[in-house]
């Protein structure tokens, strides 16, 4: 039996309580009663984000999705909120800062601004520099 199928079966039956999957491995997962999804990195595609967090809280059940967002990923997370969450809770996801991981607000502001700044002499697509940084720019 394929390792992916074995691991998923072990997860579904409760033999394994945690399943760690890459973006590719997470495609097509359907686990009833999945209580939590954790995004260590934000998916590149905003639609993939919705697809991944949609693994939890199905069929009327409650679920939680946790995403780790760095200053450099804030512009991308803002895009996810604008595109897919505008009708959910006012369109903003509650941010929670973990104790011991408090950001340096000054540095955070600089890094966020840099992720949105146009660099002279660099050709950007019409989608903006934050998009180009995520997807490698114009090639």
From residue 138, alpha-carbon distances to 111, 122, 132, 134 in Å are 22, 9, 7, 11
What integer pLDDT is reported at residue 15 of this predicted model?
A: 92
What integer pLDDT is reported at residue 41 of this predicted model?
A: 85
pLDDT tens digits for the chain (139 residues)?
Answer: 688 888 888 988 889 888 887 766 666 677 777 888 888 888 888 888 887 887 777 778 888 888 888 777 888 888 888 887 766 655 677 778 778 877 777 776 776 676 666 666 666 566 665 555 555 544 3
pTM confidence score = 0.61
What integer pLDDT is reported at residue 34 of this predicted model?
A: 81
Q: Positive or negative, the Cα torsion across 58, 92, 73, 95?
A: negative
Report all structural domains of the chain as residue ranges with CATH numbers, in order of start: 1-68 (3.40.50.300), 72-139 (no CATH)
Contact 9, 21 (CB under 8 A): no
What integer pLDDT is reported at residue 90 of this predicted model?
A: 58
């Amino acid at each position: 039996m394929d390792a992916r199928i074995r691991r998923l079966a072990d997860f579904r039956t409760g033999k394994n309580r945690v399943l760690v999957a890459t973006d590719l491995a997470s495609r097509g997962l359907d686990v009833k009663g999945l209580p939590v999804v954790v995004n260590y990195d934000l998916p590149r595609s905003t639609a993939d984000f919705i697809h991944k967090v949609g693994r939890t809280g199905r069929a009327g059940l409650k679920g939680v999705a946790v995403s780790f967002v760095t200053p450099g990923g804030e512009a991308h997370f803002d895009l996810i909120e604008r595109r897919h969450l505008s009708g959910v809770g006012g369109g903003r996801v509650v941010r929670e800062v973990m104790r011991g991981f408090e950001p340096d607000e000054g540095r955070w502001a600089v890094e966020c601004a840099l992720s949105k700044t146009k660099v002279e002499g660099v050709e950007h697509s019409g989608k903006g520099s934050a998009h180009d940084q995520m997807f490698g720019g114009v090639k």
